[in-house]
Chain A
Amino acid sequence: MSAVLAHDARVRVGGMCVRLTTTSTRFAGILEQRFAGFMEPGREADYTFEVEVVDPRSDAPDADVRVWREEGLWRIERGDFRAVLDPRTRRGRIRQAASPYSIDTLLRILHTLSLADEGGFLLHAASVVRAGRAQVFTGVSGAGKTTLSRLAPPGADVLTDEISYIRREAGGYVAYGTPFAGELARPGANVRAPIEGIYLLSKGPRNRVDEVAAPAAARALLGNILFFAEDPALVRRVFAAALDAVESLPVRRLTFVPDASVWEVL
């Protein structure tokens, strides 16, 4: 009898390393491709998951994601995956098909759960670093996140065109690059930078930046934060994280025409 060799992939995003073990060579290849630039072999893991790769389910592939806590364990399910995480040991199991989309979603959810404990969050937003400072551009699908990212000036680092990773650290709020891509379909730059400000995106006839009142800024942020769990304690932490950010960071509205001139007003 021969032992089945387990693959060991370590995906580090926002300073948090997730170790994924699998016996599926095909899935290991998918991970290498999907999270290129964010794989850190040998890095000490903050979370460890054993991934069981199964045939795709056909009964409920489009079901909504559900995240809930049961008997001290986090349970995460969608039509295409099931996962369980023990938050005390930071170990869990994932059962999914060999799909990059399933593991991508699971990692996003894991990061939302972890970030909420420390006052951070994932935001539907593009973020770009210029001169060592990150600007975060938030909006719903179609608001212009990918457009702004494509128009970023030479020398700028695009951290993401889809999901911004925002952490509260000792010196203030910091944005991290993520592999969670939108229409650009490529991972962001794996760098970090202190946040200069958050911009609420809207398209208009000319480029302009306007101040936003704190309640409106809070509503916008809360509407765009990735948030899945049906858990009152987590709701309170996400609410506090969003309002703390509004009270600490400049939040402005960016109205823009979709060409490179937008960067002149930023």
Chain B
Amino acid sequence: MTRYIARSPDVAARTIGGELMIMSGRDSSLFSLNETAAALWEAADGATPLAGIVDRAICARFDVAREEALADAEALAEDLARHGILVVSEAPIPR
């Protein structure tokens, strides 16, 4: 199943001290993303399939097996979607 991810418009995000911080506009919960999670967030354009994002933004930059990276990315995307800071869809997400 192909999945697409996009950054939610209802969040605030800024990199401070080298750390990407994101606050949910829905429930004010605060997240600090590590380097790989931040790479996923930055690449979440709604148009590129998640697997493509993992290839381009994760596997090309970090020493990690593709299957493992894809499984981690799917779990992270679901977690962030539950808090309303990422949108996950089976179709491209219009911006």
On A, residues with C-beta under 8 Å from B are 213-215, 218-219, 222-223, 227, 231-233, 235-236, 239-240, 243, 246-247
Contact = CB atoms under 8 A, between A and B. Distances in A.
Contact of B25 (A214, A236, A243, A247): A236
Interface stretch (B16-24, B37-45, B53-61, B67-75): B16-24
B12 A239 contact: yes
A67 to B, nearest CB: 12
Interface string B10-53: 11101011110101111010101000000000000000000000
Contacts of A231: 25
A222 B23 contact: yes
B95 to A, nearest CB: 17
20 contacts: A213-B17, A214-B17, A214-B19, A215-B16, A222-B23, A222-B30, A227-B28, A232-B26, A233-B25, A235-B12, A235-B23, A235-B24, A235-B25, A236-B12, A239-B12, A239-B14, A239-B23, A240-B12, A243-B14, A246-B16
Contact of B17 (A215, A223, A233, A240): A215
Contacts of A219: 21, 30, 32
Contacts of A236: 11-12, 23, 25
A200 B52 CA distance: 43
| Leading 5 A-B pairs by shortest Cβ distance | A232-B25, A214-B17, A239-B12, A215-B19, A232-B10
B62 to A, nearest CB: 21
A232 B12 CA distance: 9
B14 to A, nearest CB: 5
Contacts of A227: 28
B54 to A, nearest CB: 26
Nearest to B22: A239
Contacts of A232: 10-11, 25-26
B77 to A, nearest CB: 20
